[in-house]
A and B are shown apart, each in its own frame.
Chain A
């Protein structure tokens, strides 16, 4: 598995590599959603409070070191104060309201981040090693997140394998994507443009390649894009649809097209080949075999490969399956 991440990130789909873009703030990336108001002012408040506290404390320490530095080993200290109840009570009690204020502000923001509005537009997100898939209400699936500006968007997420985390630094929100349950988050994009999407929870070899873009369009552009994308998918020739699925569904992570075995067998010359299974049986790689491999991958493992493939049962329409088979056929 030579440098899979680089291949995924830079070779196959350069268009999916996001950029941070220029930000007016030094500390925080360019912002593009209403949720920013719950994070940025508080971040700046904490930053300045911390910076001032640090400077004051360190200045005091530096001052004491400079002023009271001993000139010889025989020098005695000038004072012997070892407690000052008033002072100690002050610095035990004064931080309390400051801390409570920080907590309350953070709590308020957190509640806002986690309370999804009722009238939100829903997009389903599936995390899998090492790919994000976004399902739109019209049945169209994409590996780039498209969202309309000025519309509240609710993202419902689940994972097919391990824990991932759906992070949108530009929108200042994030939530773990956990297999076997649904988690959700919401945001309302405020400006058109491109923002990075990261996987923030470690998920293996391609963790750092599990990145894509969130593209915010104006509402009109978004509607048009969605209709076009849906139509384009429907009218695509099977082989081309298969190629799209190959990249979109994450097949490319494990199956090469050039004959190199990766986590799974290469697709080059695969069709109609006689494959030896791990239990010793020999099977012909025909349509049925390929379909069964996608639906029940653990039922037939090719000898010499780990049982690593996730099932695609219920995730692909018949048309898409036919497309993938056509694409495999074409890899001579």
Chain B
């Protein structure tokens, strides 16, 4: 997408070694904790998000182990309830919501735009500190007496349970503002910091994905903030807004909560669409099919996502009229989603497909996300939803979308940008084995849950009738395979940091701006402001150079 012309010198005069990059530019812990560099903040987010992911995964394995047999297996009912609450809260608020935008997005977005940084670097660092604060609050509730409300905090359960709900709510409140500030930063960055020639329709689709996400973050999250604040006040003072014992309306809380939390589902998955839209064309060596349809369908999803929250409440006593409007709009969202899947598959038509680890994750994404999307139809259809509501069918559906969609895309993106982040290539074999284990584990964990759910198994059950046991056991085995997959992947990635080979500038032959600078990038990203003259998915000029193990633009030599 970049051209060979440059408009201005960015790099100031002065010399330093060729191994100077953003990782080595400054040293010491303070240089990280006080950094304003978007790449370092991205890396810090990444480390935190991965740690939270390990914690949430540990809770998940505890839950699955407990469900191996009916009755008590390893923990009692109260502990089990706290485990699934923490699993949900950690995975949603600490991992998936900030995962792709704050970790990968922070690193990649300014590079994609040819900018030196995001628009507000200090705000960016503050968002990270807010993440840390929120995480500490959330986890501190674990030490006192972890909340047992489920991540949805439904009233009046959440106003009456004796566990430490207020620290958990305060944590989520702060995390919400962290997310708002990231979104705000990204919107301004995308509007104001694009390199010359980088028009809206020359933007990589990852940027479009982050843009749609940011709109939802900015418009939906404040409502969550005030809702949680009201819930905190309700719990502390009993003001009678949500608590029916004081004349409040518990269903009002559900409306407020889902007004945020349905867009939040798309906050989690739309950036994943962006990652997949980057990976598939690069590894098919072909322009993305239907660029504008994919770009605009993200925006369409962002807008529609605000109008469908009521589909979480078909059995809450909501009127038939309200339910039918929410159901109809929900079906409309299925259309832009289907368009995306078809466009991605069409991109591969007559391509030159390379099955490197990122592409394996992208193909895996297509499989699991299609299942997740299609099973969504069962739940947006009102009459079948009545039967399936609050059963394992819903659990399986959203894990196929969140875990299968957002997390596989996150790992795909991670493998894709890993060489750029660290300047090291990971071992392709272990990467692929990890991906395979994740794929098998994911399907084995969650597919049996569809069967249990449609047969009536309610969600959040500590105990169950013995007829469900074979499915629970399959699911538990799957969860451990999934855990192994992530373990293999983590080991493989960490090993790459300790060992050579160094990554070439452009190992995949991509044509977005971050691949036109060294791996890892210099402190100031671009030495000269790039001037963009073409779209992001033009690969014709890139040729593979066996000597350096990466791609170089025709007629140019990469310095060694």
Direct contact of A and B (CB under 8 A): yes
Where the two chains meet, the residues of A that have a C-beta atom closer than 8 Å to any C-beta of B are 1-6, 9-10, 17-20, 23, 26-29, 38-39, 42-43, 46-47, 49-50, 53-54, 57-58, 60-61, 64-65, 68-70, 73-84, 87-88, 91-92, 95-96, 99-100, 102-103, 105-114, 161-163, 165, 167, 169-170, 172-176, 178-181, 183, 196, 198-209, 211, 306, 308
Q: Is B244 an interface residue (CB 8 A)?
A: yes
Name which of B19-27, B311-319, B415-423 contacts chain A: B311-319
- Residues of chain A with a CB closer than 8 A to B76's CB: 1-4
Given A58-B370, A162-B157, A167-B456: A9 touches B335 (CB 8 Å cut-off): no
Known: A6-B71, A204-B148, A205-B77. A19 touches B320 (CB 8 A): no
- How far apart are B390's CB and chain A's nearest CB, in angstroms? 4
Stretch at the interface among B181-189, B282-290, B513-521, B524-532: B282-290
Known contacts: A5-B77, A173-B386. The answer to whether A181 contacts B317 by CB under 8 A is yes
Report the minimum CB–CB distance from B530 to chain A (whole Å): 23
Q: Are B465 and A70 in contact (CB under 8 A)?
A: no
B71 near A109: Cβ-Cβ < 8 Å: no
Q: Check A83–B458 contact: CB distance below 8 A.
A: no
Nearest chain A residue, comparing its CB with the CB of B341: A57
Which of B244, B288, B387 has the most C-beta atoms of chain A within 10 angstroms of its own C-beta? B387
A196 cross-chain contacts in B, Cβ below 8 A? 456, 465
Q: In the bound complex, do residue B543 and residue A165 qualify as a contact, i.e. CB atoms below 8 Å apart?
A: no
Q: A1-B77, A58-B367 are in contact. Are A106 and B383 (CB under 8 A)?
A: yes
Among the interface residues B345, B375, B381, which one has the most CB atoms of the partner chain A within 10 A? B381
Q: How far is the CA of A258 from the CA of B31 in the complex (A)?
A: 63
Contact across chains for B345 and A103 when beta carbons are under 8 A apart: no
A103 engages B381 (CB within 8 Å): yes
B residues engaging A (CB < 8 A)? 71-72, 76-78, 81, 148-150, 154-157, 160-162, 244-245, 247, 249-251, 284-291, 293, 314-317, 320, 323-324, 327-328, 331-332, 334-335, 338-339, 341-343, 345-346, 348-355, 363, 366-367, 370-371, 374-375, 377-378, 380-387, 389-391, 451, 454-456, 458-465, 467, 537, 539-540, 543-544, 546
Query: A136 CB to closest chain B CB, in angstroms?
Result: 23
CB contacts (< 8 Å) of A306 on chain B: these are 162
Top 9 nearest A-B pairs by Cβ distance? A169-B456, A109-B383, A79-B350, A180-B244, A106-B381, A110-B382, A82-B287, A208-B461, A73-B544
- What are the residues of chain A within 8 A of B288 when measuring CB–CB? 82
Chain A residues in 8 Å Cβ range of B244: 178-181
Report the Cα distance A194→B27, complex, angstroms.
Answer: 70
Cβ–Cβ contact B315 & A57, under 8 A: no
Q: Is the CB of B348 within 8 A of A64?
A: yes
Taking a contact as CB atoms closer than 8 A, the residue among B284, B334, B459 that contacts A99 in the complex is B334
Across the interface, which residues of B come within 8 angstroms of A110, CB to CB? 314, 320, 323-324, 327, 382-383, 386
Q: Which residues of B contact A105 (CB under 8 A)?
A: 381, 383
Give complex CA distance A299, B95 in Å.
45
Residues of A near B156 (CB, < 8 A) are: 161-163, 179
CB–CB A42/B383 < 8 A: yes
Given contacts A61-B345, A77-B286, contact A174 B387 (CB under 8 A): yes
The answer, among A6, A43, A170, A179, for a CB contact under 8 Å with B378, is A43
> In the complex, A49→B377 CA distance in Å?
10
Could you show 26 A-B contacts with beta carbons less than 8 Å apart? A3-B72, A23-B455, A27-B455, A28-B387, A68-B353, A70-B352, A73-B546, A84-B346, A88-B343, A91-B339, A99-B332, A100-B328, A100-B331, A103-B381, A106-B380, A107-B382, A161-B160, A200-B391, A201-B154, A201-B390, A202-B157, A203-B157, A205-B77, A206-B77, A208-B77, A208-B458
Report chain A residues within 8 Å CB of B543: 74
Shortest Cβ gap from B230 to chain A (Å): 17
Knowing A76-B352, A209-B463, say if A83 contacts B290 (CB, 8 Å): yes
Q: Are B377 and A102 in contact (CB under 8 A)?
A: yes
Instruction: Decide if A20 touches B467 in the complex (CB within 8 Å).
Output: yes
CA distance A88 to B346 in the complex (A): 10
Interfacial chain A residues near B338, Cβ < 8 Å? 91, 95
Report whether B285 and A70 are in contact in the complex, using a CB–CB cutoff of 8 Å. yes
Nearest neighbor of A43 in chain B, beta-carbon distance: B384
Q: Which residues from chain A contact B454 at a C-beta distance below 8 Å?
A: 27-28, 43
Do A46 and B378 have beta carbons less than 8 Å apart? yes
Q: Is the CB of B387 within 8 A of A82?
A: no
Identify the closest chain B residue to A109 (Cβ).
B383
By a CB distance below 8 angstroms, the chain A residues around B245 are 179-180
A204 near B375 with CB under 8 A, answer no
Contact indicator B290/A88 (Cβ below 8 Å): yes
Knowing A10-B71, A20-B467, A29-B455, say if A176 contacts B315 (CB, 8 Å). yes
Apart from A82-B287, A174-B315: 12 A-B pairs, beta carbons within 8 A: A3-B71, A5-B463, A18-B465, A53-B374, A57-B342, A61-B367, A68-B352, A81-B350, A108-B383, A110-B320, A162-B154, A203-B157
Question: Within the complex, what minimum Cβ distance (angstroms) separates A114 from chain B?
Answer: 6
Interface centre among B81, B382, B456 (most CB of A within 10 A): B456
Smallest CB gap from B334: residue in A: A99
Give Cα distance in the complex from A201 to B149, angstroms: 11
| Contact present for A20 and B331 (CB under 8 Å) | no
Evaluate contact between B351 and A68: CB separation under 8 angstroms. yes
The answer for the CA separation of A28 and B388 in the assembled complex, in Å, is: 10
- How far does the alpha carbon of A102 sit from the alpha carbon of B334 in the complex, in Å? 12
Residues in A whose Cβ lies below 8 Å from that of B462: 5, 207-208
Of the candidates B148, B291, B463, B544, which one forms a contact with A74 in the assembled complex, judged by CB atoms under 8 Å apart?
Answer: B544
B515 shortest CB reach to chain A, Å: 15
- With a cutoff of 8 Å between Cβ atoms, the chain A residues found around residue B375 in the complex are 50
Chain A residues within 8 Å of B374, by CB:
50, 53-54
B244: nearest residue on chain A (CB-CB)?
A180
**For residue A80, which residues in chain B have a CB less than 8 angstroms away from its CB?**
286-287, 350
Check A175–B317 contact: CB distance below 8 A. yes
Select from chain B the residue with minimum beta-carbon distance to A209: B463
**Contact residue among A3, A42, A199, A206 (Cβ-Cβ distance under 8 Å from B381):** A42
B355 touches A50 (CB 8 A): no
Quick check: A39 and B384 within 8 Å, CB to CB? yes
The docked-state distance in angstroms from the alpha carbon of A183 to that of B162 is 27
Tell me if B284 and A103 are in contact (CB < 8 A): no
User: Contact: B348 with A65, CB < 8 Å?
Assistant: yes
A64, A112, A209: the one contacting B345 at CB < 8 Å is: A64
CA distance A106 to B348 in the complex (A): 36
Query: Whole-angstrom distance between the alpha carbons of A6 and B157 in the complex?
Result: 22
Q: Is the CB of A46 within 8 A of B377?
A: yes
